[in-house]
């Protein structure tokens, strides 16, 4: 088969010129980095049962973004500041058991969002612009300027470095805090370090792909991976792979969708990526269900 | 502050506070803070979708709240609860992004849906809110006993014929209903503050369940009333005060509990309360 | 044995979990007022068996009869004290509130306070020596105290059979002894059959009327004299075991040869199961 024929076959799916556009290339690179970082931190998040904290950091980026907007600083610093402050608050409240911990997360989130409301109000009255909320919450990966790539990579590397350095003790204390404590591992300190890594990972994701996707990429691929394998190392690799696949396929579909009805508008990337991640999770549960059903019949 | 359109704000917010206090009691008891955040948040997509289709936003909110809540219930049977809640939330928000995409001029209304428009409540919203509230309160009253047992001692409840799954679904449906009726008032982002701050404080202050429920309502009322008054005076958004006061109530509750604990320890000498046991004893080869 | 007098009759129950047969044709019966110990090491299937009796787990063979009739959905006849329960320290629930739930929690609505209700709860609290902390938060009580509250919760519904899953596992020696004595007293006074699972039988020896010993997925039942013998247990385990009597305490030891034949004795690491 000639290259031309292959191209013609794939044309409905991969628009000619997809890889040629610069913003697409940036989106692909950034999407991959974010997927890897989110997937790695996500595996720990799912094991520790702290998906709410991950989501909370995502929402609190709105506060950070609003604050940065008000002060006139780049949103990234706002995200990082908000994340660190929230992580510190959650740590100070310091509840270890899941129920109480989620409650504390909720309280911090509520206060933080209230603050976001205030900052946005001050921002609109001072700067007289609207629509800031929407951009912050639903940011798009196709609008990331290529100048931020070095920053993105740097932040990603920082998060991965934290995780790599603390890998073994963090894993043990995440699976069983009691066993870790018995071995003299500082569980509380590790929890704080983990929260910090989570805050940075979410800040990175929010900057590039928006809050919705940051939570989706954090929790979905990791949860799917952990359903498919018991080994955390394998799960991390798998989570990254699933995240990258979802991002790339989502970006592809979003790019194509400008030709779908309603013509000219195009469907948002976040919708595609989230749907793919959701489907992946649902499908990963099917082998279990099939096995259960055949067992019952046996 | 107490005349004209403000009357509606006082009335509706009081109704909201009552529902938030009662439903929130079980939200905190069951450790469902994330669900209380996810359901209203996700329902936002339903409101946007409703305007797209040309239907009343309340219906959109209701449908998405219910689907989200029940989805969490069904998915939560097989998967981790917090994972399922997160995924249900982002799926709904993803749909919200899709709908937003198609309705280009929605941006300013988004903010009011997210953060609420208490001071802009019109008088014809009072009656429907009250009606829905009545249903919520009746549901909570009816479910009280089996829901308490299922929330506190799930296994024992199962053995008694109180299905944990059925209780979870009922509870989630009530959360969806509470979310639907309160979102137009307080907004999607902050209703859950009311549902967790007040009950968290109340349970620290009293050890009787029914008293804790009542106190939860009282604290929620104080929270909204103070928030509205403060917002009226300063022009700052109501949500800011709701979030901060809820956090303050929570902090007070924990402070009180800690103080009472140190006093009890001092009085009792060395009695060390154990906090429930979940660890299995190691097995022995020789019996 | 007179079938109608038995409050619980387990007949040929086999249970399969994750493809493995955990229990194979387990049969035994219990009469009112009898104190029975369900003995077996961790992983032997004690909790599974209890769950079958409670209707929380399906058996793929055999049946369970309660008071002569097949098990139905609700079990007003059975009181249950689970092994694991978590009562948060800030849960707004007093001991007496928890016991009160045992009265009517399966019914809808809010409990109306009445003197009769309060009197019944007080009586139950007395029966388990819990009046001292009746108004304390359940989450702040010690393990043993919480367990007594759960027993009162189970008893207030006037069951004919009381099941306790490993009640001694997390108690110190003295609390355990007090607990066993309390249960023996309740069994005798109120003619309630008591079935306690444990991985160590010595604490129960003074009170046990009968024993159901589980090993290798099968069970032997009878009096301790009938069951706790080298020949019976060796057959259960499928390899030679010795039974030693040391100052009234019983030790079951693997005989000469390898001890790897003893089933279900691997130490399980707590909480290693990662579910997503």
Interface of B with A in 33-52 (CB under 8 A): 33-34, 36-38
For C253, the enclosing helix (H) or strand (E) is strand C249-254
Domains and CATH numbers, chain A: 17-297 (1.10.3470.10)
Q: pLDDT by residue (tens digit) across B78-105?
A: 889 999 999 999 999 999 888 888 876 5
C-alpha angle B245-A193-B190 in degrees, rounded to nearest 5: 25
Highest mean pLDDT among A118-132, B39-53, B95-109: B39-53
Q: How many CB atoms lie within 10 A of CB C43?
A: 17
Among the partner-chain residues B144, B156, B158, the one whose CB lies closest to the CB of C109 is B144
- Calculate mean pLDDT across residues C267-274: 32
Nearest by Cα to B199 from B230, B178, B170, B168? B178
Q: pLDDT by residue (tens digit) across A49-84?
A: 999 999 999 989 888 888 887 887 777 788 888 888
Structure-token pair, residue B130 = 């009250």
Of A24 and B10, more confident: B10
Residue whose pair of structure tokens reads 């994340």 in the numeric block: A83
Report residue C126's pLDDT band, with 50, 70 and 90 as the boundaries. Answer: very high
C-alpha angle A114-A119-A122 in degrees, rounded to nearest 5: 130
Task: Provide the mean pLDDT of chain A.
Answer: 81
Identify from A43, A174, A175 which residue to disrupt to test chain C contact, counting C C-beta atoms within 10 A and taking the largest count: A175
Q: Is the predicted pLDDT of residue A185 greater than 70, yes or no?
A: yes
* Residue A139: predicted pLDDT: 52
List the single residue in A with minimal CA-CA distance to B249. Answer: A107
Q: Is the predicted pLDDT of residue A17 greater than 50, yes or no?
A: yes
The residues near A297 (Cβ < 8 Å, ≥ 6 apart) are none
Phi/psi-derived region of residue A80, left when phi > 0, alpha when psi is between -120 and 50, beta in every other case: alpha
* Residue A291: predicted pLDDT: 63
Q: What gap in Å lies between CA A261 and CA A272, rounded to an integer?
A: 15
Q: Is the predicted pLDDT of residue A129 greater than 70, yes or no?
A: no
List the single residue in B with minimal CA-CA distance to C263. Answer: B285
Q: Is the predicted pLDDT of residue C258 greater than 90, yes or no?
A: no
* Cβ–Cβ gap A179/C270 under 8 Å: yes
SS (H, E, C) C71-87: CCCCCCCEEEECCCECC
Report residue A276's pLDDT band, with 50, 70 and 90 as the boundaries. Answer: very high
CATH class assigned to B5-267: mainly alpha
- Calculate mean pLDDT across residues C230-240: 86
Report residue A138's pLDDT band, with 50, 70 and 90 as the boundaries. Answer: low
Lowest mean pLDDT among A11-15, A172-176, B233-237, C264-268: C264-268
User: Phi and psi dihedrals of A33, rounded to 5?
Assistant: -60, -50
Task: Answer whether A63's CB lies under 8 Å from A116's CB.
Answer: yes
Task: Answer whether A285's CB lies under 8 Å from B79's CB.
Answer: yes
Q: What gap in Å lies between CA C82 and CA C178, rounded to an integer?
A: 18
Highest mean pLDDT among A137-151, B27-41, C57-71, C191-205: B27-41
Task: Answer whether A154's CB lies under 8 Å from A204's CB.
Answer: no
Residue whose pair of structure tokens reads 């209903």 in the numeric block: B177
- Calculate mean pLDDT across residues C144-167: 92
How far does C110 lie from chain B, in Å, by closest CA? 6
Nearest by Cα to A48 from A242, A218, A165? A218
Structure-token pair, residue B3 = 């005349």
User: Phi and psi dihedrals of C6, rounded to 5?
Assistant: -80, 135
For chain A, how far is it from start to end, CA to CA, in angstroms?
49
CA distances from B138 to A212, B174, C234 (A): 35, 10, 61
Of B18 and C143, more confident: B18
Strands C210-215 and C61-66: unpaired
Q: How far is CA C103 from the centre of its chain?
A: 21
* Residue A152: predicted pLDDT: 80
Q: Is the predicted pLDDT of residue B276 greater than 60, yes or no?
A: no
Q: pLDDT by residue (tens digit) across C187-223?
A: 888 889 999 999 888 888 888 999 999 988 899 999 9
- Taken in order C107, C111, C112, C116, is the CA torsion positive or negative? positive
Q: What gap in Å lies between CA C231 and CA C240, rounded to an integer?
A: 8
* Residue C84: predicted pLDDT: 87
The pLDDT > 90 percentage for chain A reads 35
The residues near B221 (Cβ < 8 Å, ≥ 6 apart) are B14, B17, B18, B21
Lowest mean pLDDT among C112-121, C155-164, C167-176: C167-176
Identify from C21, C60, C274, C275 which residue to disrupt to test chain A contact, counting A C-beta atoms within 10 A and taking the largest count: C274
Nearest by Cα to C168 from C200, C210, C133? C200
Q: Is the predicted pLDDT of residue A97 greater than 80, yes or no?
A: no
C-alpha angle A260-A265-A269 in degrees, rounded to nearest 5: 80
Structure-token pair, residue A128 = 């007289």
Interface of B with A in 203-262 (CB under 8 A): 236-237, 239-244, 246-247, 250, 254
Q: pLDDT by residue (tens digit) across B153-191?
A: 999 999 888 899 999 999 999 999 999 988 877 777 778
Q: What gap in Å lies between CA B40 and CA B178, rounded to an integer?
A: 9
Q: What gap in Å lies between CA C18 and CA A61, rounded to an integer?
A: 44
In this structure, what DSSP letter does residue A280 have? H
Among the partner-chain residues A100, A218, A265, the one whose CB lies closest to the CB of B101 is A265
The SS3 call for residue C32 is: coil
CA distances from B29 to B26, B230, C90, C93 (A): 5, 30, 9, 10
Q: What gap in Å lies between CA C176 and CA C184, rounded to an integer?
A: 12
How far does A125 lie from chain C, in Å, by closest CA? 43
In this structure, what DSSP letter does residue C218 have? E
Residue whose pair of structure tokens reads 């309660």 in the numeric block: C66
* Residue A288: predicted pLDDT: 64
Q: pLDDT by residue (tens digit) across C52-95?
A: 999 888 888 898 888 878 876 666 678 999 998 889 888 999 99
The SS3 call for residue C179 is: helix
Among the partner-chain residues C170, C251, C253, the one whose CB lies closest to the CB of B281 is C170
Q: Does B284 touch chain C (CB under 8 A)?
A: yes
The residues near B265 (Cβ < 8 Å, ≥ 6 apart) are B271
Q: What gap in Å lies between CA A171 and CA A47, rounded to an integer?
A: 9
Q: What gap in Å lies between CA A216 and CA A141, rounded to an integer?
A: 14
Highest mean pLDDT among A22-26, A211-215, B65-69: B65-69
The SS3 call for residue C165 is: strand
CA distances from B52 to B56, B99, B176, C25 (A): 10, 7, 22, 62
Strands C193-198 and C210-215: unpaired
Structure-token pair, residue A282 = 């649902």
* Residue A263: predicted pLDDT: 64
In this structure, what DSSP letter does residue C10 have? E
* Residue C6: predicted pLDDT: 85
User: Phi and psi dihedrals of A223, rounded to 5?
Assistant: -65, -40
- Calculate mean pLDDT across residues A235-246: 95
Residues of C in contact with B79 (CB under 8 A): 275-276
Residues of A in contact with C18 (CB under 8 A): 295
The pLDDT > 70 percentage for chain C reads 89
Strands C61-66 and C69-70: antiparallel
Residue whose pair of structure tokens reads 């013609």 in the numeric block: A8
Nearest by Cα to B144 from A102, C148, C97, C141? C97
Name the neighbours of B, counting chains with at least 3 Cβ pairs within 8 A. A, C
Q: Is the predicted pLDDT of residue A296 greater than 70, yes or no?
A: no
Q: Does C274 touch chain B (CB under 8 A)?
A: no
Domain ranges within chain B, ordered by starting residue: 5-267
Estimate the crossing angle of helix B33-53 against helix B57-75, to 10 degrees: 140
Q: What gap in Å lies between CA A279 and CA A141, rounded to an integer?
A: 21
The SS3 call for residue B211 is: helix
């Amino acid at each position: 088969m000639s290259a031309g024929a292959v191209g013609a076959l794939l044309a409905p799916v991969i628009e000619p010129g997809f890889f040629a556009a610069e913003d697409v290339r940036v989106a692909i690179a950034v999407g991959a980095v974010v997927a890897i970082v989110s997937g790695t931190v996500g595996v720990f998040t799912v094991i520790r049962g702290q998906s709410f904290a991950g989501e909370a950091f995502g929402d609190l980026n709105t506060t950070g973004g609003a604050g940065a907007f008000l002060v006139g600083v780049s949103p990234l610093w706002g995200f990082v500041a908000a994340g660190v402050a929230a992580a510190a608050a959650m740590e100070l409240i310091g509840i270890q058991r899941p129920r109480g911990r989620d409650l504390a997360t909720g309280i911090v989130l509520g206060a933080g969002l209230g603050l976001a409301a205030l900052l946005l109000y001050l921002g609109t009255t001072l700067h007289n612009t609207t629509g800031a909320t929407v951009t912050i919450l639903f940011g798009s990966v196709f609008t990331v300027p290529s100048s931020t790539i070095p920053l993105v990579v740097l932040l990603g590397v920082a998060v991965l470095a934290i995780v790599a350095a603390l890998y073994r003790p963090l894993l043990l204390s995440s699976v069983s805090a009691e066993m870790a404590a018995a071995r003299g591992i500082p569980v509380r300190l590790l929890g704080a370090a983990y929260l910090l890594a989570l805050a940075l990972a979410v800040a990175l994701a929010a900057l590039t792909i928006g809050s919705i996707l940051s939570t989706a990429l954090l929790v979905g691929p990791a949860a799917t991976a952990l359903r498919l394998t018991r080994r955390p190392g394998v799960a991390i690799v798998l989570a990254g792979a699933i995240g990258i696949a979802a991002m790339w396929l989502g970006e592809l579909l979003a790019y194509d969708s400008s030709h779908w009805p309603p013509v000219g508008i195009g469907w948002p990337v976040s919708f595609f990526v989230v749907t793919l991640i959701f489907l992946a999770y649902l499908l990963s549960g099917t082998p279990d269900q099939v096995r259960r059903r055949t067992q019952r019949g046996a | 502050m107490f005349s004209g359109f403000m009357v509606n704000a006082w009335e509706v917010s009081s109704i909201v506070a009552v529902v938030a206090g009662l439903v929130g009691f079980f939200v905190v008891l069951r450790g469902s803070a994330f669900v209380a955040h996810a359901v209203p948040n996700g329902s936002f997509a339903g409101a946007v979708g409703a305007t797209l289709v040309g239907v009343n936003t309340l219906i959109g909110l209701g449908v998405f709240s219910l689907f989200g809540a029940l989805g969490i219930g069904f998915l939560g049977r097989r998967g981790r609860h917090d994972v399922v809640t997160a995924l249900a939330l982002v799926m709904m928000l993803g749909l919200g992004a899709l709908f937003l995409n198609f309705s280009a001029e929605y941006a300013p209304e988004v903010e009011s849906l997210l953060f609420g428009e208490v001071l802009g409540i019109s008088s014809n919203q009072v009656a429907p809110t009250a009606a829905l509230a009545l249903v919520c309160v009746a549901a909570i009253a009816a479910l009280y006993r089996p829901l308490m047992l299922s929330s506190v001692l799930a296994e024992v409840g199962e053995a008694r014929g109180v299905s944990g799954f059925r209780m979870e679904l009922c509870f989630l449906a009530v959360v969806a209903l509470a979310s639907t009726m309160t979102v137009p008032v307080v907004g999607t982002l902050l209703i859950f503050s009311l549902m967790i701050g007040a009950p968290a404080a109340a349970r620290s202050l009293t050890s009787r369940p029914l008293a804790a429920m009542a106190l939860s309502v009282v604290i929620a009322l104080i929270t909204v009333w103070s928030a509205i008054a403060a917002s009226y005076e300063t022009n700052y958004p109501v949500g800011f005060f709701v979030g901060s006061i809820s956090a303050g109530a929570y902090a007070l509750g924990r402070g009180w509990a800690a103080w009472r604990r140190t006093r009890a320890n001092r009085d009792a000498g060395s009695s060390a309360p154990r906090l429930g046991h979940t660890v299995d004893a190691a097995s022995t080869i020789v019996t | 044995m007179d079938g109608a007098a038995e409050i619980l009759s387990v007949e040929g129950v086999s249970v399969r979990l994750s493809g493995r047969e955990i229990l194979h044709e387990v049969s035994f019966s219990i009469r009112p007022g009898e104190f029975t110990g369900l003995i077996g090491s961790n992983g032997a299937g004690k909790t599974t068996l209890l769950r079958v009796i409670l209707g929380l787990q399906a058996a793929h063979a055999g049946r369970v009869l309660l008071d002569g009739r097949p098990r139905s959905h609700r079990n007003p006849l059975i009181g249950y004290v689970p092994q694991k329960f978590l009562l948060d320290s800030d849960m707004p629930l007093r001991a007496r509130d928890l016991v009160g739930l045992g009265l009517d929690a399966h019914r809808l609505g809010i409990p109306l306070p009445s003197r009769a209700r309060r009197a019944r709860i007080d009586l139950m609290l007395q029966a388990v020596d819990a009046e001292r902390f009746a108004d304390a938060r359940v989450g702040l009580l010690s393990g043993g105290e919480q367990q007594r509250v759960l027993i009162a919760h189970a008893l207030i519904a006037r069951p004919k059979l009381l099941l306790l899953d490993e009640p001694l596992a997390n108690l110190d020696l003295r609390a355990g002894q007090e607990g066993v004595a309390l249960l023996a007293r309740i069994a005798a006074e109120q003619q309630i059959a008591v079935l306690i699972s444990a991985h160590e039988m010595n604490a129960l020896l003074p009170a046990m009327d009968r024993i159901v010993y589980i090993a290798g997925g099968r069970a032997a039942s009878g009096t301790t004299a009938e069951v706790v013998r080298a020949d019976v247990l060796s057959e259960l385990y499928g390899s030679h075991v010795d039974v030693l009597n040391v100052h009234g305490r019983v030790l079951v030891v693997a005989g000469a040869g390898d001890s790897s034949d003893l089933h279900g004795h691997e130490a399980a690491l707590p909480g290693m199961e990662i579910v997503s």
